[in-house]
Structure 1
Amino acid sequence: MPTHTRTAGEPAVEGRTRTWVLVITSVASLMVVLDALVVATALTAIRTDLGASLAELEWTVNAYGLGFAVLLMTAAAVGDRWGRRKVFAAGVAVFAGASLVCAAAPDVGTLIAGRLLQGAGAAFVMPLALALLSSAFPGELRPRALGVFASVSGVAVPLGPLVGGAVVAGVSWQWIFWINVPIGAALAFLTLTKIGESRGPDSAVDVPGLVLAGAGTFGLMWALVQGGVVPAVAGCATLVLFVLWERRAAHPMLPLHLFRSRRFSAANVVIFFHWASAFGVVFFMAQFLQTGLGYGPLAAGLALAPWGLTTVIVPQWVGRRIGRFGEWPFVVAGLGLHALAMVWLALVAGPATGYAAIVVPMVLSGTGIALCLPAAQSAVLTSVEPRFLGKASGAFSSMRQLGGAFGVALLVVGFSKAGSYASGEQFSRGFTAAVLTGAALAVVGALAGSLIPRKVR
């Protein structure tokens, strides 16, 4: 078992250990992202089986994002203090246990609670996966490693709806959660036996910062998912207090000087709107195929597969070229392409639409999403000193999850204003409004991406 403990400033690990880091963190991220997406093709079955309303379906998706976003920066800080490997392994174990709760849920309330706990476990996986990966690979190799990492995570885009549809059609929706239990156990074991420990530079935990960040994020997430002015105001006010505290804290959980880097700040805004658009559209796309076009769950999963296949190949291609061209061209082109694809989809969507009319814009959308993600990750993780990798990855992952919740909430509003579940025609009208909203979010992300400095540092 690896016993050497490295701090973030030490040289990257070599050889076989580096390979294990890449494999374990990539597979863990695949599991986590897969569960954010695999529910998409199961939503119709869950609605029928558990009698869930649209609001409850939204909570089934966003409870995961709520637990995820609230604890992300906490997870990064705890990993820096007590060891990234141990905290990462604990997160994987919690995720697996929460999956068991979801699988055995007798009602939608229990399912939502399990999803919330799943998100909490995922919060201790994703930022620490990025921190472990970034500390294992030196700067010149990091963009390529991140490209591989993003490609493996990207497999979840075509695989999530496909696995969800196949499982729902062949067994039952509960099995989309059962499968995580043995995989999580194996990953936790391999993490503790194959990866060396690493820590951040701070020996103390910023407890007031953790409380303020968690409470503020919870308020905003609650407002996005449930609505209401009071939680939104309370969340914003608490986050203002968090910023004021971080300016004077001796050991801040999020050093505010990181945001002086235009590269760091712009990339965090990019990922917020990137995931808001992508995740919001995924929420409705599988339902459109089933409720709008009458597909079964397996057929819907197969129909969505071309959308995500590009996410397996494109990130690696981007990772090899970031060093030459920088991040901004891939961010701007990617989100621009995704926005155009959503407009195309809105123009052709209807209850009588054939699959041939929607497959091309789906492929273009997946390509755009895949162009953007590794570039945004690279811009954040190469703009900070090695000792701040854990905190930077926590901030990046928090923005991504907040964006996902924001996107689903905003697209639900657009859908509800224009359509309903009453008929295929009504659903198609709502879907059109939803994907146009997703296109607008992507445009905002592309504008933020244009602020990333042109020259590679």
Structure 2
Amino acid sequence: MTAPAPALRIGSAAGRGTLLAAILASGMVFLDSTVVNVALPRLGAELGATVAGLQWTVNGYLLMLAAFVLLGGALGDRFGRRRVFLVGVVWFAVASVLCGLAQGTGWLVAARFLQGAGGALLTPGSLSVLQASFDPDDRARAIGTWSGLSGVSTALGPLLGGWLIDALSWRWIFFVNLPLAVGVVLAALRWVPESRDEAASRTGAGRRFDVAGALLGALGLGGVTYALIDAPARGAGSPTVLVAAVLGVLGAVVFVLVERRRGDAAMLPTGLFGSRLFSVLNVFTVVVYAALGGFTFFLAVYLQNVVGWSALLTGLATVPMTLLLLVGSARAGALAARIGPRLPLTVGPVVAAAGLLLLRRVGPGASYWTDVLPGVVLFGAGLTLVVAPLTASVLAAVADRFAGVASGFNNAASRAGGLLAVAALPLLVGLSGSGYEQKTALADAFRGAMLWCAGLLLAGAVLAGLLIHRPTRTAPGGQPCPSLPASTPPDRR
């Protein structure tokens, strides 16, 4: 067990270096969450992928993140946050190179699975390292800086990805992670102090590895995802689809039972759900991020294959949405702190749903300024009202020593929402095979998908209006990142 290192100050060289490592690492994960959608039409055409192949290219990554990010947070808390963080960074970089070298859809999907596993190790680590390393007086500022600068990578992701795809190849959206990873490793080895959950170490929980929990979580998500993706090609009643669905549901049920039995030694301590608000807000997270995942998956393919835009212009299309999140999240968080989260979490999804309904009228030859921008701005404004209040409210009930697990679970909820949406929406709107290359089929599917996503957002608004209330405590400081909730979990006494 390592002795605790002195708390870092943000003005010191070690503080700045630790912050740099966390920002670059999370930036890689956020970058790959946004640029791949822009590349789907190009890599689909080059590799001869079907709709299912495109779905697995996105969902292989999301599945591993959603299933194992809990384990990544727990491993960091128990075995050393810096150690697990560095393993994740190297793993992610190697998998990124394999993605860029892919010669077929199967190769790419397998490499995306590996990449997601690396992301599951480093994603919660980038936050928990800051939480554990910085002096309490500087912690909120450090996390706020991390959130803002990491969010820049989310904003630049589609733009950088579009430029790389048009100028070089879709392969370079993966190769670009290699120099970033080198920078992270050098900074982490030089400046990031080691830390862990000392309570877990004293009780011996830090020496246990929750293999059953990790595998059952992956089986639950993977089985349901496989059934949804495979159903259009094989038929909903085929034995393969039915077996996958049954295994997925059973895996999820047994996962809950096993984790409850293991108590505090579990990968996901079920005691975290003693707060009804925590539980409801995580359901809300799944619903909202399902709409976001479905929207981004369909929009990028639609703008290129139906509207006729380049990858660069497609990447530019959603930049205003991310800029709104970066500029407005702190204000939305401050508003929610004054009036409570219920109103922002009710109004935000309604505004975002209105944006999606506007985007349904976009067609071939559409103008960005009059046809696409209004819907994107409305969607971004609605999401801005949601992200900061949601983040602060979710983490308000979490004890400080569960920092990695808590950030991991809420991140898993958001990833699971996107995962299930990308798996289910093509089935619901009748898109399969090479339909994404056929303008009429894709246009019909896009309009249907926007309706489904708007419906999810409105369901979230109803959930918020009826069941969400002001938490007893608010997580201090920090602006959240659109794709990974970020805050400092308070110590609930």
TM-score w.r.t. length of structure 2 = 0.84
Q: Which residue identity is paired with 2:46?
A: D
Q: 8 Å contact 1:143–1:319 — kept in the other structure?
A: no
1:58 CA drift (Å): 1.2
Q: 8 Å contact 1:293–1:352 — kept in the other structure?
A: yes
1:90-131 deviation line (CA, Å, top 9, x unaligned): 111111111100111122221111111111111112222232
Provide the residue aligned with 1:77 in structure 2: 74
Off by >6 Å, runs of 4+ in structure 1 = 138-144
How many Å separate the matches in 2 of 1:334 and 1:25?
Answer: 29
- Does residue 1:245 correspond to 2:246, yes or no? no
Q: 8 Å contact 1:280–1:404 — kept in the other structure?
A: yes
Aligned CA distance change for structure 1 residues 224 and 373 (closer, same or farther; 3 Å): farther
Unaligned 5+ runs, structure 2:
232-240, 474-493
Residue of structure 1 aligned with 2:9, choices 10, 14, 20 = 14
Aligned CA distance change for structure 1 residues 384 and 12 (closer, same or farther; 3 Å): farther
Q: Which residue identity is paired with 2:4?
A: T
Q: 8 Å contact 2:229–2:424 — kept in the other structure?
A: no
Provide the residue aligned with 2:391 in structure 1: 377
1:141 CA drift (Å): 7.3
Aligned CA distance change for structure 1 residues 427 and 455 (closer, same or farther; 3 Å): same
Q: Which residue identity is paired with 2:404?
A: G
Q: Which moved more, 1:310-319 or 1:71-80?
A: 310-319
How many Å separate the matches in 2 of 1:131 and 1:360?
Answer: 37
- Does residue 1:301 correspond to 2:315, yes or no? yes
Provide the residue aligned with 1:289 in structure 2: 303
How many Å separate the matches in 1 of 2:146 and 2:228?
Answer: 29
Q: Which residue identity is paired with 2:413?
A: M
Q: Which residue identity is paired with 1:14?
A: R
Aligned CA distance change for structure 1 residues 22 and 374 (closer, same or farther; 3 Å): farther
1:169-223 deviation line (CA, Å, top 9, x unaligned): 1111111111101101211221232222221232322343334333333333433
How many Å separate the matches in 1 of 2:228 and 2:458?
Answer: 21
The residue correspondences of 1:16-95 to structure 2 (distance < 5 A) are: 16=12, 17-95=14-92
Aligned CA distance change for structure 1 residues 149 and 415 (closer, same or farther; 3 Å): farther
Q: 8 Å contact 2:72–2:121 — kept in the other structure?
A: yes
How many Å separate the matches in 2 of 1:328 and 1:140?
Answer: 29
Residue 102 of structure 2 aligns to a residue whose secondary structure is coil
Q: 8 Å contact 1:40–1:282 — kept in the other structure?
A: yes
How many Å separate the matches in 1 of 2:308 and 2:18?
Answer: 43
Provide the residue aligned with 1:392 in structure 2: 406
Aligned CA distance change for structure 1 residues 260 and 150 (closer, same or farther; 3 Å): same
1:30 CA drift (Å): 2.1
Q: 8 Å contact 1:155–1:311 — kept in the other structure?
A: no
1:33 CA drift (Å): 1.6
The residue correspondences of 1:356-367 to structure 2 (distance < 5 A) are: 356-367=370-381
Q: Which residue identity is paired with 1:177?
A: F
- Does residue 1:443 correspond to 2:458, yes or no? yes
Provide the residue aligned with 2:491 in structure 1: none
1:328-370 deviation line (CA, Å, top 9, x unaligned): 4333332222111111212x22224322122111012122223
1:403-431 deviation line (CA, Å, top 9, x unaligned): 11111122222442699446434422221
Unaligned 5+ runs, structure 1:
none
Provide the residue aligned with 1:453 in structure 2: 469
Provide the residue aligned with 1:185 in structure 2: 182
Residue of structure 2 aligned with 1:330, choices 301, 323, 344 = 344
How many Å separate the matches in 2 of 1:167 and 1:151?
Answer: 24
Provide the residue aligned with 1:173 in structure 2: 170
Percent identity, aligned pairs only? Answer: 37
The residue correspondences of 1:411-430 to structure 2 (distance < 5 A) are: 411-416=425-430, 420-421=435-436, 423-430=438-445
Q: Which residue identity is paired with 1:202?
A: A
1:142 CA drift (Å): 6.3
1:305-340 deviation line (CA, Å, top 9, x unaligned): 223221221223334444333434333332222111
Provide the residue aligned with 1:259 in structure 2: 273
Aligned CA distance change for structure 1 residues 157 and 210 (closer, same or farther; 3 Å): closer
Residue 89 of structure 1 aligns to a residue whose secondary structure is helix
TM-score w.r.t. length of structure 1 = 0.90
Q: Which moved more, 1:242-251 or 1:381-390?
A: 242-251
Residue of structure 2 aligned with 1:123, choices 115, 120, 128 = 120
1:267-286 deviation line (CA, Å, top 9, x unaligned): 21122122211121111111
1:225-265 deviation line (CA, Å, top 9, x unaligned): 44423223222222222222222325222221211212311
Q: 8 Å contact 1:307–1:359 — kept in the other structure?
A: no
How many Å separate the matches in 2 of 1:76 and 1:197?
Answer: 14
Aligned CA distance change for structure 1 residues 215 and 182 (closer, same or farther; 3 Å): same
Aligned CA distance change for structure 1 residues 174 and 422 (closer, same or farther; 3 Å): closer
Provide the residue aligned with 1:213 in structure 2: 217
1:293 CA drift (Å): 0.8
How many Å separate the matches in 1 of 2:19 and 2:341?
Answer: 22
How many Å separate the matches in 1 of 2:180 and 2:351?
Answer: 35
Q: 8 Å contact 2:15–2:191 — kept in the other structure?
A: no
1:133-162 deviation line (CA, Å, top 9, x unaligned): 333467897666555444334334432221
Q: 8 Å contact 1:225–1:405 — kept in the other structure?
A: no
Aligned CA distance change for structure 1 residues 443 and 284 (closer, same or farther; 3 Å): same
